[in-house]
Structure 1
Amino acid sequence: MEKSKFGVLYPSIFLILFISFLNFHFHFLSSWPSTLTYNHNQIRVGKIEQELSEARAAILEAARRRTYNILNNNHNHTTNYFIPRGSIYRNPYAFHQSYIEMEKRFKIWVYKEGEPPLFHLGPSKNIYSTEGHVISELHRSRLSAAHPDDAHAFLLPVSVTNIVHYLYRPHGDYHRSRLRTVVRDYVTVVARNHPYWNRSSGADHFLVSCHDWGPYATAGGLFDHLIRVLCNANVSEGFQPRRDATLPEINVPASALNQPDMNASKSVLAFFAGGAHGAIREALLRRWKGVGDGDVQVHEYLPKNASYMGLMARAKYCLCPSGYEVASPRLVEAMHAGCVPVIISEGYPPPFSDVLDWSAFSVEIPVGRIAEMKEILEGIGEEEYEEKRRRVAEVKRHFVMNRPARRYDVLNMVFHSVWLRRLNVRIPI
């Protein structure tokens, strides 16, 4: 059990659930450092931690009994009430109960300090848009706490994308120390004005960033316990799946919240179009670009008058290689195109991997086997492919952007990722 100065960091709740199937007597440990003290309303903290303890117990019980607890209230009692089922989920019973507990209990406080555009605002279009939509949604969500004393988690409403846009472009330089200084100064302000950061060393706080520089904004010892929700979720660069959460990269069109769904007959085995950004794409283009193979179509530049989404829709498999950074909007674009995503990456935990079994609806090809890609994909039987394609249609609901957010959509899945990580931390009383 890993300890820190703020308490015990539980292993992933779903790792605990997996172990619980092997040993129903498994329980949460509760040994806390005896030297930690802080001046705050310990009764309120105790109530919050009791709520989280009850949620953990309910999740474990649902997993053990393999049952669904259907809430009967005005919010959930509808004919369209969704229940997660099937192989796209690691444990649908645990996920369903966890989501219920989140809706019933979870409250997030958004710090009021800071002024737009560096704080409280973020992009709502382009590949960084998830960052802006999460920040904006939490200013008016049902999950928003009325008072910080009622909060289980705290959002630092910092927009890394806007900091880069407004502070770096005018200067014309890209010294990342300026970015870290802004974020550190913000934490200093909220820690001085409120007791919440100091009582947990930031372990119940989170920051959301879809910009490539997100990890650099939170580098250094001050952020050792912060929950980082990042598109650039690169394990080799310090991303920790037990503490951090992968943010889906969604290229929101200028005129809509989602790409249109495409349906077309599948006449191509695999498709990719994109620039030679990074070593993985360079290797893909070097091996497959212009090979004259109609089954595998890999383009650096699209043919004239060709439709990118139309070509994706005609492919059975859509290649999603990492670029300069690990994330790719093609994962979500493939779902809208009815195409099975093929992940070609290193050190990238896909979004919502705590609850989603990506092997059920995608294919992962190691970077070292790019040359064997066609053989690997042709080796997948037609029945298995059709199952994956069907599951892509099922899982897509968790990657759809809605404003306001709807149950189980991408924004609520992001909040659920934070909820899981908050369950794994206990603030000592």
Structure 2
Amino acid sequence: MSCMSCSSPHIPFLLFFLLLISFTLLGNSPTQHTLTNFFSTFNASIPKLEGLSISNITTSFSFSSFFNTSTTKHHQQQMTAIPSIRPTAIDKEMKLSQLEKGLERARAAIRKAIIHRNYTSNKDENFVPRGSVYRNANAFHQSYIEMEKRFKVWTYEEGEPPLVHGGPEADIYAIEGHFISEMEDRRNPFRARHPSEAHVFLLPFSVVYIVEYVYKPGAKDYWGPLKRLIADYINVISDKYPYWNRSHGADHFMVSCHDWAPHLSVANADLHRNSIRAICNANTSEGFKLGKDVTLPEVHLPDGGLSSPAREQTSVDSRTLLAFFAGGAHGYIREALLRHWKDKDPEVVVYEYLPKGINYGQMMSKARFCLCPSGFEVASPRIVEAIFNGCVPVIISIDYPPPFADVLDWSKFSIEIPVARIPEIKEILGNISARRYGVLQRRVVQVQRHFVLNRPAKRFDVFHMVMHSIWLRRVNLRLNY
């Protein structure tokens, strides 16, 4: 008896030790530090994001199977965890917990919509995504509903126009200025009233205006002043607030349509490596990271007026041209296109300079296919122009993920031709049957609403689609603040 009584005090300590070991092993489980690509699209691995602790959305359902991506494989990579930064106030900790709980409920609702092939909404839905143009219409619709219900963005108030809190609202970079302006509008439903409510944070500097006002042609170090300005802005907000430092910028994003945006984002290592970069120049060979960054569609507004599809969509039978392109020899892809097809064929009409008296939009409306080759950079405003004119876009590019490819299946309403097959354009397009072309063209009209720029923004338009792309990336992250 005496022996039993003397050993019994050690039993609780032994049990505690065993429990500690088991929890430690569970905490080191690979599923606790893995980024699940919520709307898996491309056969590319997600890069490591330093300073993050990422967890699977769920252990019981594979979110990489949300869409019909049988030809791609989703690769998961281990994330590097950092120590949690404990908020100094209890209310801050509670708000962070509420944000994460809200995201968990959103994930559960999307999972339910996929399983039951339906959506749940507390209001009448005036538009319901349907059809094969969506990788998974139910997943997209429920995700969109959850975004409208929960998603909040804080726009930093530091800085002065024109370099911050503004941007161009005309020409090929117009979407940059319109997006920043829309987020600055206090009527915007996504605008957070306080940064503690925000899921993500917008860095409202304009790369276009930074280049326009700070760049000095011919200067020995022309990159330096531009990068320092961006670095200084991040230093200001990271010194003043805790939000950048607690996530190493992973819940922050920038928006820019300027060609130099990817290069200038290296001004801050965390901005380039961790933050969401919504950019037009989305070149995967130059550091654009699938699953983290967002392809911004290039919307050309030559006179500053808002974009919209052609009022009268030309019927299929009235499209007498096989293919059309007009544009300068900017970059090797366009040079190859002009070399093979400029003034060579009456059915494949290719101009370097549009002749006088010929209307660009009318030519697109006459063509069945509109050629959209990359220029000096990968993005082309012709993709959106083609869609607005009901012309099936033919994307000729390398390393360019098209906009909203998380949810839109571009193979259902566009054609992709490799650069090496430019000489075969007529043969490739000519072999597409009338029936298949009719289906492609109808689907082009179907996706038009997703590329329209409205002010104020409207449901499912280009602004909301960009917001949804950013929302998805935040839903995919669980950050241990």
TM-score, normalised via structure 2 length: 0.82
Aligned 8 A contact 1:20 1:64 in 2: no
Within a 5 Å distance, the mapping from 1:176-325 to structure 2 comes to 176-219=223-266, 221-223=269-271, 224-254=273-303, 256-259=305-308, 261=310, 263-264=313-314, 265-291=318-344, 293-325=345-377
Deviation at 1:164, TM superposition (A): 0.6
Match in the other structure for 1:67: 118
Match in the other structure for 2:51: 5
Aligned 8 A contact 1:252 1:259 in 2: no
Match in the other structure for 2:24: none
Deviation at 1:241, TM superposition (A): 1.6
Match in the other structure for 1:42: 93
Q: Encode CA deviations 1:119-172: one digit per residue, 9 max, x unaligned.
A: 000111110001111101011211000000000000000100000111125886
Deviation at 1:369, TM superposition (A): 0.7
Q: Encode CA deviations 1:253-301: one digit per residue, 9 max, x unaligned.
A: 315201550534201000000000001101111111121x111001101
Aligned 8 A contact 1:106 1:152 in 2: yes
Report the secondary structure of 2:140's partner residue: helix
Report the secondary structure of 1:415's partner residue: helix
Aligned 8 A contact 1:253 1:259 in 2: no
Paired amino acid for 2:83 = T
**In 1, Cα distance between equivalents of 2:80 and 2:320:** 60
Aligned 8 A contact 1:109 1:153 in 2: yes
Paired amino acid for 2:104 = S
1:115 to 153, 156, 160: 160
Within a 5 Å distance, the mapping from 1:63-212 to structure 2 comes to 63-72=114-123, 77=124, 81-140=126-185, 141-168=188-215, 175-212=222-259
Q: Encode CA deviations 1:165-222: one digit per residue, 9 max, x unaligned.
A: 1112588677222221111110000001111000000000000000001101211523
Match in the other structure for 1:403: 455
**In 2, Cα distance between equivalents of 1:179 and 1:358:** 35
Q: 1:49 to 1:372 in 2, by over 3 A?
A: same
Report the secondary structure of 1:51's partner residue: helix
**In 2, Cα distance between equivalents of 1:350 and 1:173:** 35
Aligned 8 A contact 1:259 1:333 in 2: no
**In 2, Cα distance between equivalents of 1:127 and 1:373:** 27
Match in the other structure for 1:17: 63
Q: 1:30 to 1:379 in 2, by over 3 A?
A: closer
The answer on 1:356 being equivalent to 2:408 is yes
Match in the other structure for 2:436: 384
Q: Encode CA deviations 1:42-70: one digit per residue, 9 max, x unaligned.
A: 22211111111111111111112111223
Aligned 8 A contact 2:257 2:279 in 1: yes
Aligned 8 A contact 2:67 2:135 in 1: no
Aligned 8 A contact 1:270 1:319 in 2: yes
Q: 1:20 to 1:329 in 2, by over 3 A?
A: closer
* Structure 1 range deviating more: 54-63 or 83-92: 54-63
Q: 1:172 to 1:312 in 2, by over 3 A?
A: farther
Report the secondary structure of 2:455's partner residue: coil
Q: 1:319 to 1:422 in 2, by over 3 A?
A: same
Aligned 8 A contact 2:153 2:199 in 1: yes
Paired amino acid for 2:170 = K
* Structure 1 range deviating more: 398-407 or 34-43: 34-43
Aligned 8 A contact 2:308 2:453 in 1: no
Q: Encode CA deviations 1:343-388: one digit per residue, 9 max, x unaligned.
A: 0000000000000000010000011111111111011111110001
TM-score, normalised via structure 1 length: 0.92
Aligned 8 A contact 1:5 1:36 in 2: no
Q: 1:352 to 1:173 in 2, by over 3 A?
A: farther
Deviation at 1:8, TM superposition (A): 1.3
Paired amino acid for 2:199 = H
Q: Encode CA deviations 1:100-129: one digit per residue, 9 max, x unaligned.
A: 000000000000000000000011111000
Deviation at 1:34, TM superposition (A): 6.6
Q: 1:21 to 1:221 in 2, by over 3 A?
A: closer
Aligned 8 A contact 1:400 1:410 in 2: yes
Q: Encode CA deviations 1:296-326: one digit per residue, 9 max, x unaligned.
A: 0011011221111111110000000000000
Report the secondary structure of 1:218's partner residue: helix
Aligned length in residues? 414
Q: Give identity over the alignment, percent.
A: 52
Paired amino acid for 1:183 = I
Match in the other structure for 1:342: 394
Deviation at 1:18, TM superposition (A): 4.0
**In 1, Cα distance between equivalents of 2:221 and 2:122:** 51
Report the secondary structure of 1:256's partner residue: coil
Deviation at 1:39, TM superposition (A): 3.7
Q: CA RMSD in A?
A: 2.3
Paired amino acid for 2:289 = Q
Aligned 8 A contact 1:405 1:412 in 2: yes
Unmatched 5+ residue regions in structure 1?
A: 23-27
The answer on 1:53 being equivalent to 2:107 is no
Aligned 8 A contact 1:32 1:428 in 2: no
**In 2, Cα distance between equivalents of 1:29 and 1:118:** 37
Q: Encode CA deviations 1:366-412: one digit per residue, 9 max, x unaligned.
A: 11111111111011111110001000101000000100000000001
Paired amino acid for 2:113 = A
Match in the other structure for 1:25: none
